[in-house]
A and B are shown apart, each in its own frame.
Chain A
Amino acid sequence: MPVISLSVNGIPVTAEVEPRLLLSSLLRDHLGLTGTHVGCDTSQCGACVVHVDGKPVKSCAMLAAQADGTQITTIEGLAQKGKLHPMQEAFRDNHALQCGFCTPGMVMMSVALATEQPDLDEAAVCKGLEGNLCRCTGYQNIIKAVMAGAKAMRG
């Protein structure tokens, strides 16, 4: 079985993994990082988005073995010293979640969007979140939150 070494939220991890193990299962079932949600397991919903070397990817559509040598950030890795990330804070302030199931993926995608394009407008938020589905909020408050979070990240 492949032995992989990677960094998860800054912590080095070495593990022997079955080739068919998905990155989402490595994170949730082996490392106990259940903040990454699996909504569909068919690449459609975006609840499982994590950052691989800084880029958002669907962790249900990547093998753990493919993540060898990478740096992974999950929703658990955003808050620093007990203080929420500005994007998390913006989701809370703007009531951008109801059941919260989509939220980890939404936040991870939004952080990536705002990092890549700090002055993004509403249209860019909508386009950027095309792969993230929410069954509760109707998206309006999510868009507001991402705009506010991006502003807070600009400082």
Chain B
Amino acid sequence: MYEFEYHQPKTLEEAAKLFADADDPQFMAGGQTIIPVMKQHLAMPSDIIDIGRIADLQGISVDGDTLTIGAMTRHGDVAGSDEVRKSIPALSDLASHIGDPAVRNRGTLGGSIANNDPAADYPAALVALGATVYTTSREISAEDFFTAMFETALEDGEMVVKVTFPVPEKAAYEKFPNPASRYATTGVFVARTGDGVRVAVTGAGACVFRQSDFEKALDTDFSPPALDGISVSADGLNSDLHASAEYRANLITVLAKRAVKHAG
């Protein structure tokens, strides 16, 4: 790793000022992506602003039909939270299958969505549940937040503060994990709300996307056979050493059916 300056602000204001004053700064949450990336010299920030001790970024709470999770909340804390398990069990299930216990003890919700790895799990949950991302300057709907591979709507210096999730009637997430890293080779999150069914797919394309033909079918009949006969095109899907585009297209149907069954 190249040299850098290290800062540990205690407030959002202090973090914003440090960011504005630095040459080429970068935020660090749990460091689970940024540290390996810096080791490989793929990022060479002049200043690391460690946001791990900012109180405003912490915490999980439920208010009526809304679950709120602070950006610095570790995956292990989401997985172990009674509030999450009671309000959106599919989300606690998703968090409990991210990487391994050591990664879950450091990796965060904010870091995961800001990074927007095409194979990350959380983006599928945010899009399917119709979550809202609150940043230091605005509110962004999940669908507008994830823009392209490793790209989000965040501007330079803008920080994710928290995410709110409307509690659905039913939801489930199913993934086919990469056997080494546990990232999603393909993952499908299905959620049924008062406004209808939403199906979000991660790992299969460059960025999370909605499978609208599945949504329509499940709106009429929320059962696995409702997806029979809908073919998923492999066009534009990822093809790599882990799986071909055709394999991923097939996984979308298989995992969506499992998720519908699991959601009950």
Interface residues of A (CB under 8 A from B): 2, 18-20, 22, 41-44, 46, 49, 52, 55-58, 61-63, 65-66, 68, 109, 112-113, 128-132
CB-CB under 8 A from A49, the residues of chain B are 102
Query: Is B241 in the interface zone, CB < 8 Å from A?
Result: no
**With A22-B35, A43-B35, A66-B31 already in contact, 13 other A-B pairs whose C-beta atoms are closer than 8 Å:** A2-B8, A20-B4, A20-B38, A43-B32, A44-B180, A52-B105, A61-B106, A63-B31, A65-B50, A66-B52, A113-B101, A130-B99, A131-B102
Decide if A63 touches B101 in the complex (CB within 8 Å).
no
Q: Name B96's closest neighbour in chain A (CB-CB).
A: A127
* B100 lies within 8 A of A130 (CB): yes
Cβ of B36 within 8 Å of any chain A Cβ, yes or no, is yes
Give the complex CA separation of A126 and B233 in angstroms.
35
Residues in A neighbouring B31, C-beta threshold 8 A? 61-63, 66
Chain A residues closer than 8 Å to B35, beta-carbon distance: 22, 43, 61-63
A2 to chain B, nearest CB (A): 6
Residues of B contacting A52 in the complex (Cβ-Cβ under 8 angstroms): 105
**Interface size bracket, B side:** 20 to 34
| A128 and B101 within 8 A (CB) | yes
Contact B182 A62 (CB under 8 A): no
B35's closest neighbor in chain A, by CB?
A61
Shortest 3 CB-CB contacts between residues of A and residues of B? A131-B100, A19-B6, A20-B1
Q: How far is the CA of A18 from the CA of B32 in the complex (A)?
A: 19
10 CB contacts below 8 A, A to B, read: A19-B3, A19-B4, A20-B1, A20-B3, A55-B76, A61-B106, A62-B31, A65-B6, A113-B101, A128-B100
CB distance from A128 to the nearest CB of B (A): 6
With a cutoff of 8 Å between Cβ atoms, the chain A residues found around residue B36 in the complex are 42-43, 61
**Which residues from B are CB-within-8-Å of A18?**
3
> Quick one: which of A41, A43, A65 contacts B8, CB cutoff 8 A?
A65
